């Protein structure tokens, strides 16, 4: 059984970048997203998810920016030739080596294979959830930017992704929020209770010495900076 969801908050999704094609002028190519790959959030991008967004981008005549670490104040280049193929979202990037200091850092890191990630910033326009598999399929995405990132698979990046959703007024999925809680120090069972029933239920359900543990974890949650 599937359920539909409308446009959600701003999110990021990272993939490894093949940097063999970076040349001396800062030109490179790579996949900002791949299809059919279930990520750590239990989500998968469906083929065609970027079709409408790319169409709107083309009709506007606007180039999609390359950002440094998803910082909207730090553009380091622009994308061209963005398209979907059988594998995913492919594009050609051009780094502004003469004008953006962080573009030089990205370039040197990519050439040295020390910086190896691309990450898309997007809004979910349409998605479906399979109750049996627990997998959420992203059917249509509003593409905002594609960043070069240092650690695409880093757990801290996943925490920052959830923080970004909340900061932009969105609501993370249960699986995202539960993973965020676990990375913040809560146990698997406590994270599940908080994500599904709320923190108040956890505090009410624990007594005696366990209650002090729950209050300690509550203090830990309050200390997390958004």
Distances in Å between the Cα of 67 and the Cα atoms of 44, 48, 97 are 23, 24, 13
Number of neighbouring beta carbons within 10 Å of residue 81: 9
Please tell me which residue in 43, 140, 145, 178 is annotated as part of the active site.
145
Tokens of 151: 């650690």
Parallel, antiparallel, or unpaired: how do β-strands 10-16 and 27-34 relate?
Answer: unpaired
Q: Is 206 a catalytic residue?
A: no
Q: Is 119 a catalytic residue?
A: yes
Please tell me which residue in 33, 43, 53, 70 is annotated as part of the active site.
70
Q: What one-character-per-residue DSSP string does 148-196 give?
A: EES-TT-HHHHHHHHHHHHHTT----HHHHHHHHHHTT--HHHHHHHHH
Question: In terms of DSSP H, where are the helices of 11-154?
Answer: 51-60, 101-111
Q: Is 168 a catalytic residue?
A: no
List active site positions: 70, 119, 145
């Amino acid at each position: 059984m599937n359920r539909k969801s409308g446009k959600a908050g701003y999110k990021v999704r990272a993939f490894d970048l093949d940097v063999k094609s970076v040349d001396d002028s800062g030109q490179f190519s790579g996949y900002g997203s791949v299809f059919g790959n279930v990520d750590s959030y239990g989500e998968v991008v469906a083929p065609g998810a970027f079709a409408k967004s790319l169409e709107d981008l083309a009709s506007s005549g606007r180039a999609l920016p390359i950002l440094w670490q998803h910082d909207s104040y730090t553009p380091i280049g622009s994308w061209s030739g963005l398209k979907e193929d059988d594998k995913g979202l492919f594009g050609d990037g051009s780094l502004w080596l003469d004008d953006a200091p962080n573009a030089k850092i990205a370039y040197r890191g990519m050439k040295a294979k020390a910086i190896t990630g691309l990450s898309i910033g997007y809004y979910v326009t349409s998605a479906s959830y399979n109750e049996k598999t627990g997998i959420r399929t992203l059917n249509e995405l509003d593409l905002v930017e594609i960043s070069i990132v240092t650690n695409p698979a880093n757990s801290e990046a996943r925490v920052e992704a959830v923080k970004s959703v909340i900061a932009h007024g969105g609501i993370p999925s249960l699986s995202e929020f539960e993973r965020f809680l676990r990375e913040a120090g809560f146990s698997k069972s406590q994270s599940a209770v908080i994500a599904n029933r709320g923190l108040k239920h956890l505090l009410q359900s624990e007594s005696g010495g366990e209650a002090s543990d729950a209050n300690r974890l509550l203090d830990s949650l309050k200390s997390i900076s958004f």
